[in-house]
Amino acid sequence: MKTLKTIAARALLVSAGAIFYAQSAWALLPIQHWTEGSGARVWLVESKAIPMVDVQIDFDAGSRRDPAAQAGLAAASALMSAKGVRATATGDAAMDENDLGEAWADLGASFEAGAERDGLVFTLRSLTEPDLLERAARLAARQLGEPSFPAPVWQRERARWEAGIKEADTRPGTVASKAFSTAVYGTHPYGQRPTAETLARIGVEDLQAFHTRYQRACRARVAIVGALDRAQAQALARTLLARLPQGECTPLPSVPEVQPLAQASEQRIPFASAQAHVLVGQPGFVRRDPDFLALLVGNHILGGGGFTSRLTNEVREKRGLSYSVGSGFSPGLNAGAFVVGLQTRPDQAAQALQVTQDVLARFVAEGPTEAELRAAKDNLIGGFALRIDSNRKLLANVVNIAWNDLPLDYLEHWTDRVEALTMADIRAAFQRKLQPGRMASVVVGGQP
């Protein structure tokens, strides 16, 4: 019979080996989907290559659900989920953060939590050896369903967090990012950031209420990738969610839409720094938008393709205004921002901003050239295998399908859909989504 230390050592070896393992046929593996009796929805990819499983459990409880006066509540809930679990009437002893850390180390497994913009996210990684996986699932279930939220620990963590915020506010990049978020999102939750004041309003009772409201079995999306069949995956999902409140869920209130910008704006914020930070952008689009792939390919040409992009050519290569410049969309359940970002000498900031705005306006008006489109397709299609060359990357793609109600065969047709895009498709998509004359610009650096 294997000891836990032997199993843990094996887990480390398998994890290390998995880094070097790629299975190009993973895109063709079917994604199974079903709804549990609890209401939880489950997506499964059976990947038998290595005896491991990766699981992600998501709840619609990301930072967009934070009350404005308590920005940071979702992140605080995630942080505190690893700080202790309470004793139960069935005989389970309480465990503090040290007990949990030692228990996970003994299992050679990992369980982590985090709050993203849209979701409260929990991830489990374990070997699939039955005894080990069962122990890991039960321990994860306790952290999911029975966090203790110890008040002294929250006070300690809140003080650390506040100190981190204070330090971050001394950096020009943080100042620029905050100003840009406010300019693009206004009062929408996507633009909220934790502050010392909002964290001070979060007490243990608020963490408990947030957990009770959002972490219910019927609200869970569970994505599983690994060496499990459907019956084993069902048993795993049920164990993981067993300690959460069961029963019917009332629909969550809708989050308001991000409003488009009515006019252009520009902020120049003095800051004593060697480099000026320049950001330009606007609200973008939701991930479910049918223009997603056209915008992905177009942005690769505009500013997402590194040294081959138009922005790099115009801003860096021709004029030497910045070492790097890039653009990107961040679609979510609501319209995430489109942003172009660069750093430059403060005395060149105005010129760099103008060149960036000119390149952007021209690209929206004219779209890509045939040569640019061909190069972008070759790069994206050629690199597709790298998007799914590990269990964790494949899991991220399954989670994307789950969150955004994409078809189960989405990955199978991804390269064909990219190949079918035309210059007209990309130009039309950019003209539908971007308004260069109504963007927000932020420059942080230089003297008043």
CA–CA separation, 236 and 80 (whole Å): 24
CA–CA separation, 81 and 76 (whole Å): 9
Report residue 355 as tokens: 């060149």
pLDDT at 406: 97
CA–CA separation, 272 and 249 (whole Å): 52
Backbone angles phi, psi at 43, to 5 degrees: -125, 135
Alpha helices (runs of H) in 201-336, residue ranges in sequence order = 204-214, 230-241, 292-299, 310-311
Question: Domain extents for the chain?
Answer: 7-241, 265-444
Extended strands (E) in 67-205: 84-85, 95-96, 110-115, 120-127
Task: Name the superfamily (CATH) of residues 7-241.
Answer: Metalloenzyme, LuxS/M16 peptidase-like (3.30.830.10)
DSSP 315: I
Alpha helices (runs of H) in 81-121, residue ranges in sequence order = 97-107
90: buried, middle or exposed (CB in 10 Å: 19+, 13-18, 0-12)?
exposed
pLDDT at 29: 82
pTM (2 d.p.): 0.92
Whether the CA torsion 197, 203, 205, 211 is positive or negative: it is positive
Report residue 336 as tokens: 């995430």
Cα 108 to its chain centre, rounded Å, is 25
Q: What is the CATH number of domain 265-444?
A: 3.30.830.10
pLDDT at 20: 37
Nearest in space to 71 (alpha carbons), one of 181, 169, 200: 200
Nearest in space to 36 (alpha carbons), one of 250, 216, 234, 224: 234
Q: Do 7-241 and 265-444 fold alike per CATH?
A: yes
pLDDT at 108: 96
The residue whose two tokens read 């177009």 is 298
Ranges of residues in the chain with a pLDDT under 50 are 1-5, 7-27
pLDDT at 1: 39
pLDDT at 249: 87
Q: What is the largest CA-CA distance in the chain?
A: 72
